[in-house]
Structure 1
């Protein structure tokens, strides 16, 4: 029988009993009552309000909106085509670049300009090597630029400012090594909107047989496949006869011009004519004439001329074209814009340092403070010691940082220096023997002298390269490890370093102990907000009466330009600067090493940067491209790496592509990295890490005695609060010092292995050096003269 139940027992549900949600019906109303209360009204307002809240429109409204947007885009494109490239508007800038060694650019330009048999067509050659061609049959105007391929900077400037780039290839030779290199540079740095690939055939190919024609077709397919690997939608257009030239001109007329953000965010101008008002003086006013592009230009703005610098405007003349009774078109000054002295931007690019301003946090001593402290330095010396003898006595408190750094590498490179000494002695002996036998040898034997090779090589450069390779290999095997000096206390040697509980979460004040150079730069409270403010100001300043209108023919009078002799056919471009772009700050650039470059770049090594439309030289420091506030310093920039380079430079607003070149002593430049501008932020914290290592002497469960990390008990007590780690993932801390030789008792979170190694991480913030160097034509000419003298 089952268990008996008492009638008084009541079932009580537990805590997990399901509770269903009640149906919220509200007060029940019949359909007749609902109709009587609404009185025939339809609830459209409630439905419309819900649609508005959800941003939902009906299908017909969406279709109408799409049609209106499409019409607006077509109208905007039609207006651009009626302005740029039109017969009465701004000529379309077309840069013709050869990718093969046997291509004659001037014959290509002659073929294009003579392809259409139109008697009313005419062309003119400007002062700076460009050719403006007006075709009345196509109702179009073109400006062909033919920069010299050997002048890399001029080629990049022309490609950045052009509307269309035409690459010319040869079917017989294909793409040369120089052409392939130039193609990659333009694709990375310039990002031109319209690109056309043309191919020409030599005269010998026209007399070929059918078998050779099939091989030529296969070579053309191979060229297309090679270009399609790098770029998409590549189609080779033949350019061998006037009919092909006519088709190419028609394509240039009918194509859609793509806007590039980099060029359309600033005013820029290609100088069709330029001259100095006083060419005999060292500085004179430079007169430039051309069509204004991009946006409107104010006379109060600053302009930048490549290889010359940043300058102010004296005035701007806006012209109009009128036809005389003889049918000759002349330019007449329509408006003149004169800058306002109160609103004109200054050329000052450094901030004034105020020693009484404590907001700048300039806490590092100046040169005068250091000299004064050296004068007031007191030492304990024996009685009767003269001042000269006291200068040779070192006190315990002096920092022998430089001496220790030199001693660290003496043992590593002692064998290398002895080998070089033997090589130098052998070279000297060979030269002495050559001088003795010089009179007896004939001219033919002098040419075949093998010692000429040694005379051309630079032994010091080889020494520095070998030293850098050994340091990079050592840093790669033992990253950031430093030997503790035995003759100097570690608390003195590493007094500028500190320990961090966590590299990611521990706070580090970005305004703490800034160098004196940081008082010379400019900084934005919010860089992104500043960019948005400038963009809104540009939209507000469009079509103002005191601005030179875009797409108009203007003449710029640039003040105090150094008088320089330009090469024949040199193209001159002018770019307007946005607010604060003449000021200096700290640039953070993301760089990717190129696949072909195997050079090991050391931090603080001089590089030449092409940032946007500007060029300058600087010595950057490298750090990891990571998230967070603090970033680890990298001593070397190795191949196939991505790092952030930090250096002093002029403020530039992104987007801006970057090229980095390494310049060798002979003047040759090699591309080592490409990238883009990350930010303009002096508060980027870059921490240099050093690792002190020790080895276990005795191990008892989770405690161990560590040696070789320090060599006196005072250092052990000084670095006692810093956390320890091991190679195999153990973590611990210092408990106490043992003896007088630097042994210390440590406690870890696990049992330590005898073959494990104990590390201590120390960090110090580092800053870029003030090595900003603007590049100019005078400097390049001076360097070339020095090379010729050598």
Structure 2
């Protein structure tokens, strides 16, 4: 009877919204030691023989009981903000001259520059409508190398751009003339050479010149003289990667004929011009017009008992070939990227 009465009072107080009072009554209900054999009531501490020990009772998790610990990231941010506040306090106590010498020119401030050794023609023929821009280069922008661009011919330019044609590029603070090589990237990350730029899609352009940071915009122009009446901008792009060298490849198909056949082995001639060139392709796969596959085994020394010409090699095939078969080799050969750089001035 007593338990039922306490439970009913707890339920009524909880439904009425008295959360705090309900918690106190619940603690008193479950910690009063009423679970003893004699049925005697406790005083609310619950440390009697039949009660629940106080140490075993756990608090309900909540925002009030959780303590937010400071992480390493928060500690670093706090130290940086404190250091900046101390630096700003010290700088505010200095005069303008010392602060300028220690901190430098702050962004948004106007400066006066004095140039020495400037020719007089610059002042005499200076056009006020053409302002002079003063900029600086980063530490890595003074090196020369190959840049990988994502390039696209401008939709209003009338002609396709041909590889290795001179093109004037504006990349960052630089303007220079170079001979770009166009390519398209296959699914296996191979750069396949293109003779012309695609008509309505992007391609990869390998350009030699002063390196610029990634994501730098690029504008290409073929001619800048005043006789051009059409659209001048040839294409636009963006810098993707910087590297000392890029491997751009193109398809190579070499054709040869057998001059001596012995079962599945044959000596092929006419495909290479020298023994050194044939040795570079040892292990490459070859095929006949009839579909018989084979492998290049070894380059043959010119002359000797076979009286072989220079560039002859020995190959093995899956089946015996005929003397009238034509053997061809399909391979990828690297394209030489011209390292031409010509700065463009006014």
Q: TM-score range by the shorter chain?
A: 0.5 to 0.7
Q: Which residue of 308, 331, 346 maps to 1:761?
A: 331
Q: Which residue of 119, 137, 140 maps to 1:577?
A: 137
Q: Which residue of 740, 757, 760 maps to 2:308?
A: 740
Counterpart of 1:547?
A: 104
Q: Which runs of 5+ in 1 are unaligned?
A: 1-30, 53-333, 340-544, 778-790
Question: Counterparts of 2:224 and 2:257 in 1: how far apart (Å)?
Answer: 44
Tell me if 1:721 matches 2:282: yes
Q: Which runs of 5+ in 2 are unaligned?
A: 1-30, 36-49, 70-95, 301-305
Which structure: larger Rg?
2
Counterpart of 1:614?
A: 174
Question: Counterparts of 1:49 and 1:750 in 2: how far apart (Å)?
Answer: 79
Tell me if 1:649 matches 2:204: no
Q: Secondary structure at the match of 2:236?
A: strand
Superposition deviation, residue 626 in structure 1 = 5.0
Q: Secondary structure at the match of 1:556?
A: coil
Tell me if 1:658 matches 2:218: yes
Distance 1:729 1:42, change over 3 A: farther
Question: Counterparts of 1:701 and 1:49 in 2: how far apart (Å)?
Answer: 85
Tell me if 1:36 matches 2:68: no
Which digits, 9 at most, give the CA deviation of each residue in 1:566-605, with x for residues without a partner?
3352234333433343444432222122334464544433
Q: Which residue of 111, 114, 127 maps to 1:557?
A: 114
Q: Tell whether the 8 Å contact from 1:597 to 1:639 is kept in structure 2 after alignment.
A: no
Which digits, 9 at most, give the CA deviation of each residue in 1:339-393, with x for residues without a partner?
8xxxxxxxxxxxxxxxxxxxxxxxxxxxxxxxxxxxxxxxxxxxxxxxxxxxxxx
Superposition deviation, residue 675 in structure 1 = 1.0
Q: Tell whether the 8 Å contact from 1:590 to 1:625 is kept in structure 2 after alignment.
A: no
Superposition deviation, residue 747 in structure 1 = 2.8
Q: Tell whether the 8 Å contact from 2:278 to 2:313 is kept in structure 1 after alignment.
A: no
Q: Tell whether the 8 Å contact from 2:167 to 2:178 is kept in structure 1 after alignment.
A: yes
Q: Tell whether the 8 Å contact from 2:255 to 2:326 is kept in structure 1 after alignment.
A: no
Q: Tell whether the 8 Å contact from 1:659 to 1:675 is kept in structure 2 after alignment.
A: yes
| TM-score, with structure 1 as normaliser | 0.27
Q: Which residue of 165, 183, 190 maps to 1:605?
A: 165
Distance 1:37 1:338, change over 3 A: closer
Counterpart of 1:267?
A: none
Q: Tell whether the 8 Å contact from 2:272 to 2:278 is kept in structure 1 after alignment.
A: no
Question: Counterparts of 1:622 and 1:636 in 2: how far apart (Å)?
Answer: 7
Superposition deviation, residue 43 in structure 1 = 5.5
Counterpart of 1:592?
A: 152
Count of residue correspondences: 260
Superposition deviation, residue 650 in structure 1 = 2.8
Q: Secondary structure at the match of 1:684?
A: coil
Counterpart of 1:21?
A: none
Q: Secondary structure at the match of 2:134?
A: strand
Q: Tell whether the 8 Å contact from 1:599 to 1:638 is kept in structure 2 after alignment.
A: no
Superposition deviation, residue 629 in structure 1 = 7.5
Q: Tell whether the 8 Å contact from 2:152 to 2:197 is kept in structure 1 after alignment.
A: no
Counterpart of 1:674?
A: 236
Distance 1:639 1:48, change over 3 A: farther
Relative to its length, the structure with more helix (as a share) is 1
Superposition deviation, residue 717 in structure 1 = 6.2
Q: Tell whether the 8 Å contact from 1:660 to 1:674 is kept in structure 2 after alignment.
A: yes
Q: Tell whether the 8 Å contact from 1:724 to 1:733 is kept in structure 2 after alignment.
A: yes
Q: Tell whether the 8 Å contact from 1:590 to 1:645 is kept in structure 2 after alignment.
A: yes
Question: Counterparts of 1:616 and 1:692 in 2: how far apart (Å)?
Answer: 38
